[in-house]
Amino acid sequence: MVLRRDDAFGPTPGPTPEERPPPVAPAGRRPLPPFCTAVIATCVAVFVAQALGVEAFSVQHWALFGPSVRAGQWWRVLTTVLVHGGILHIVFNMMVVVNLGFAVERLLGTPRMAAVSLVSALGAAALVMAFAFRLPTVGASGMILGWAGALLPVVNRQGRQNLAWLLFQVAVISLLPGVSWQGHLGGFLAGLACGGLLRLGGNRFNQLWPLLAVGLALAIAQLSRMGGLVLPPGV
């Protein structure tokens, strides 16, 4: 799942000598992308707090769970991204944040990365609320899949090939028991919508992404009132 070259996400033609920017520090010396670094630090801190038994950070309080959202615990729509179901879950997701998220943030810039992440998290939550209303859901995977979705319309051919392999692996994983295909698909589709806006240009993206976020938030509110669209068997 490693996207090995950051330049796979750049435009195909290179700049002319007149357009070439000043030399930059080697890749190994580049500063850490602030948004992704904050995501990793927060997820790890929350996981450690949970391991230490700090009740305020428990999965029961932060997981996305439709009935709790309907009862007024709206923070769960976003805090679900920060909690994980075990050591393998958080290690796997944080590895993808490093290998994919760092490259995406360096391409899009931190403000747009934050916007895509918010929209993707809302998209993941919306599909979970629709089709897994009574199933507690945790993890950053939906948001991460949103980053991949946002890249598809804007990357070059090499980038799309790398993403295709990543998405194939996630599709297989999504079929496993206990994995939220709803969160994965919802985050990916919301990110793909962001990628469509990015193709319109930076200014249009800045103008339109808040409308997308508000629309998803309203959909979540409506799904909360409805109790979702499909209840799990036996509920």
Q: pLDDT digits over 158-213, tens only?
A: 778 778 887 888 888 877 788 899 999 999 999 999 999 999 999 999 999 999 99
Residue 53 maps to which CATH number? 1.20.1540.10
Backbone angles phi, psi at 137, to 5 degrees: -130, 135
Question: Does 17 map to a domain?
Answer: no
Question: Does 7 map to a domain?
Answer: no
DSSP per-residue letters across 9-48: GS-SSPPPTTTPPPP---GGGSPPPHHHHHHHHHHHHHHH
pLDDT for 230 equals: 62
Question: Does 18 map to a domain?
Answer: no
For the cut 80, the answer to whether the pLDDT of residue 6 exceeds it is no
* Mean of all residue pLDDT scores within the chain: 86
Question: Does 222 map to a domain?
Answer: yes
pLDDT band, residue 8 (cuts 50/70/90): very low
Question: Does 217 map to a domain?
Answer: yes
pLDDT for 78 equals: 97
Q: What pTM does this model have?
A: 0.83
Question: Does 213 map to a domain?
Answer: yes
pLDDT for 19 equals: 47
Boundaries of domain holding 89: 32-226
Question: Does 233 map to a domain?
Answer: no
Q: How many folded domains does the chain comprise? A: 1
Question: Does 27 map to a domain?
Answer: no
For the cut 80, the answer to whether the pLDDT of residue 29 exceeds it is no
Q: Percentage of the chain surpassing pLDDT 70? A: 86
Higher local confidence (pLDDT), 18 or 194: 194
How far is Cα 176 from Cα 190, in angstroms, rounded to an integer? 22
pLDDT for 174 equals: 78
The candidate with the shortest Cα–Cα distance to 101, out of 87, 85, 117, is 117
CB–CB of 115/198 below 8 Å? no
pLDDT for 144 equals: 95
What tens digit of pLDDT does each residue of 121-160 get? 999 999 999 999 999 999 999 999 999 999 999 888 777 8
Q: Which residues contact 179 (CB under 8 A, 6 or more apart)?
A: 173
What tens digit of pLDDT does each residue of 79-133 get? 999 999 999 999 999 999 999 999 999 999 999 999 999 999 999 999 999 999 9
